[in-house]
Amino acid sequence: SALNMLFQSEMSEGQVRKPKLDGSKLPDYAVVRKYLGLGGAEMHSEADGWMILGFTLNPGAAQQAARPAQPR
Mean pLDDT of the chain: 77
Helix (H, G, I), strand (E, B) or coil at 54: strand
The predicted structure's pLDDT at residue 53 = 93
Assign residue 18 a region (left: φ > 0; alpha: ψ between -120 and 50; beta: otherwise).
beta
pLDDT tens digit string along 2-27?
655 665 555 566 676 676 778 888 89
Q: Report the C-alpha gap between 2 and 43 in whole angstroms.
A: 9
pLDDT tens digit string along 35-58?
888 888 999 888 999 999 998 888
The predicted structure's pLDDT at residue 6 = 63
The predicted structure's pLDDT at residue 58 = 82
